[in-house]
Amino acid sequence: MRVQVDANQCQGHGLCQMTSPDVFALRDEDGHAYPIAEEVDGALVDAARDGADACPERAISLK
């Protein structure tokens, strides 16, 4: 599964990273999220979904 964060929609709340720290991290420079790996499989698929569901801006897309 491919994980993407829309940099324009992300507001840096950090909820994705708090929910799924194995999938999402926050940039030091602006606090916005990025996927640690753009492709996830196994247990990280569920973690990626949980992180996406936690985002109030709907900035995370999974394909």
Q: Which residues bind ligand SF4 (CB under 6 A)?
A: 5, 10-16, 32-33, 54-55, 57, 59-60
Nearer to ligand SF4, 16 or 47 (CB): 16
- In whole angstroms, the minimum distance from the beta carbon of 17 to ligand SF4 comes to 6
Cβ closer to ligand SF4: 11 or 45? 11
DSSP code of 36? S
> What DSSP state is assigned to residue 34?
E
| 50 neighbors 15 (Cβ within 8 angstroms) | no
10 vs 47 by CB, closer to ligand SF4: 10
Segment 25-32 long-range contacts (CB within 8 Å, at least 24 positions apart): 32/5, 32/7
